[in-house]
């Protein structure tokens, strides 16, 4: 017998229903039958012949009982012989083990791999499936490649659980941390091995983490070049003549979310909004060449080296002042950027929560 993992199987003794004269007899009683398993770690058996699988492997279920043999003698009389038959059935308990739980970040280049190891027999096929807790959002998805092999790899897609934009503790801390349940989607991964005599399955988990801090960054505009300086014969001083090659460059963004993540495009849109804020939006009045020249133009010195030193110091003071001005607007900047990016699918995980 094979494939009764998780089930029970009843064994019963053979019985004879007629004596040698054709008289119908009652079925033999099995009250005196005894049953045993040669490997109780694989399967156990009760006194009434019910075997229950315990672990994958092989065992013999053995039973003995009283039986009767009727012989017709030459003198036309019957002789009853009592004997003890022995039943011996080989039982293969089917099973399968699965490799350990996997964790990965959404969009990571690393593809989680799961492997099934059959026990008790050779499978004729394999199949993989997945499930999520109730109430999740964001179109959760896991695919398997291949879906019918002993070893498979999966994709990674974060889902929202709980299915809200701004969850409360304990789903997320304030400020959030990478271990918060909100940023960790836990899928149940089930691998099943199908045998000719049954099937067996095991579950494990795939955790997809979606926490980056920060997800992206946009630096203030870089100021390149320098002013033109010259010697003023009238004042006998070195002076700042004009802005020279000073240029206010377009801010550069850095995206920390992997390009394969479903949140990559959302993050790009968010950071590009910060760029727009410096180019033509709320921060277009900061880090301007005009405001810098307002600090540099009055500078003079009796030596060229002295003037250059004053320019460097004035630039540093001005730049730090611009940074302070921008920092005072951070909340407004984030509110503006989130008003653009929060509506981008997926809508959860990266949103402004007050």
Give 223-259 pLDDT, tens digit per residue. 999 999 999 999 999 999 999 999 999 999 999 999 9
301 pLDDT above the threshold of 70: yes
Give residue 216's pLDDT.
96
70 pLDDT above the threshold of 80: no
Number of structural domains in the chain: 3
Residues 89 and 100 in one domain: no
Pick from 209, 244, 270: which residue ends a domain? Answer: 209
Whether 352 maps to a domain, the answer reads no
Which of 27-31, 173-177, 214-218, 288-292 is predicted with the least confidence, judged by mean pLDDT? Answer: 27-31
What is the percentage of the chain residues whose pLDDT exceeds 70?
84
Whether 120 maps to a domain, the answer reads yes
Give residue 353's pLDDT.
78
Pick from 93, 114, 136: which residue ends a domain? Answer: 93
Residues 70 and 138 in one domain: no
Residues 273 and 299 in one domain: yes
Give residue 198's pLDDT.
84
- Express each pLDDT in 136-156 by its tens digit: 888 898 999 999 999 999 988
Whether 254 maps to a domain, the answer reads yes
Mean pLDDT (whole number) for 20-44:
65
Contact 223/292 with Cβ under 8 angstroms? yes
158 pLDDT above the threshold of 50: yes
Most confident segment among 34-38, 104-108, 163-167: 104-108
Residues 158 and 175 in one domain: yes
Whether 187 maps to a domain, the answer reads yes
Residues 201 and 226 in one domain: no
Residues 187 and 265 in one domain: no
Whether 263 maps to a domain, the answer reads yes
302 pLDDT above the threshold of 70: yes
Read off the CATH number of the domain in which 200 is found.
Answer: 2.60.40.10
Residues 337 and 230 in one domain: yes
Give residue 27's pLDDT.
43
Residues 70 and 149 in one domain: no
- Domain assignment of residue 274, given as a range: 216-341
* Signed CA dihedral, 255, 156, 114, 178: sign only: positive
67 HSE (CA, 13 A, CB side): 16
Give residue 339's pLDDT.
94
Residues 235 and 163 in one domain: no
Residues 50 and 133 in one domain: no
Give residue 86's pLDDT.
62
Whether 21 maps to a domain, the answer reads yes
Residues 22 and 114 in one domain: no
User: pLDDT grade, residue 47 (50/70/90)?
Assistant: confident
Pick from 184, 209, 234: which residue ends a domain? Answer: 209
Whether 2 maps to a domain, the answer reads no
Whether 257 maps to a domain, the answer reads yes
Residues 238 and 310 in one domain: yes
Mean pLDDT (whole number) for 179-208:
93
Give residue 280's pLDDT.
97
């Amino acid at each position: 017998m094979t494939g009764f993992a998780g089930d029970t199987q009843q064994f019963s003794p053979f019985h004879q229903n007629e004596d040698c004269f054709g008289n119908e007899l009652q079925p033999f009683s099995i009250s005196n039958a005894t049953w045993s398993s040669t490997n109780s770690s694989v399967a156990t058996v009760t006194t009434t012949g019910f075997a229950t699988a315990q672990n994958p492997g092989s065992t013999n279920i053995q039973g003995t009982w009283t039986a009767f043999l009727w012989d017709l003698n030459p003198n036309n009389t019957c002789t009853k012989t009592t004997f003890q038959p022995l039943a011996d059935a080989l039982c293969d308990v089917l099973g399968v083990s699965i490799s350990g739980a996997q964790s990965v970040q959404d969009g990571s280049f690393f593809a989680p791999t799961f492997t099934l190891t059959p026990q008790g027999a050779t499978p004729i096929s394999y199949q993989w499936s997945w499930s999520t807790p109730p109430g999740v959002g964001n179109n959760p998805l896991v695919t398997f490649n291949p879906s019918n092999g002993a070893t498979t790899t999966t994709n990674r897609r974060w889902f929202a659980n709980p299915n809200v934009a701004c969850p409360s503790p304990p789903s997320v801390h304030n400020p959030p941390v990478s271990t918060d349940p909100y940023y960790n989607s836990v899928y149940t991964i089930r691998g099943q091995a199908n045998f000719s005599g049954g099937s067996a399955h095991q579950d494990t988990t795939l955790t997809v983490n979606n926490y980056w801090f920060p997800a992206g960054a946009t630096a203030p505009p870089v100021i390149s070049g320098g002013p033109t300086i010259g010697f003023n014969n009238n004042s006998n001083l070195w002076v700042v003549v004009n802005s020279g090659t000073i240029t206010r460059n377009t801010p550069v963004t850095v995206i920390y979310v992997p390009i394969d993540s479903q949140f990559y495009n959302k993050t790009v849109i968010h950071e590009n909004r910060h760029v727009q804020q410096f180019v033509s939006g709320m921060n277009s009045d900061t880090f301007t060449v005009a405001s810098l020249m307002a600090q540099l133009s009055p500078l003079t010195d009796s030596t060229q080296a002295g003037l250059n030193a004053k320019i460097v110091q004035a630039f540093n003071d001005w730049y730090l002042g611009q940074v302070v001005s921008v920092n005072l607007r951070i909340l407004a900047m984030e509110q503006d950027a989130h008003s653009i990016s929060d509506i981008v699918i997926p809508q959860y995980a990266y949103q402004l929560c007050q």
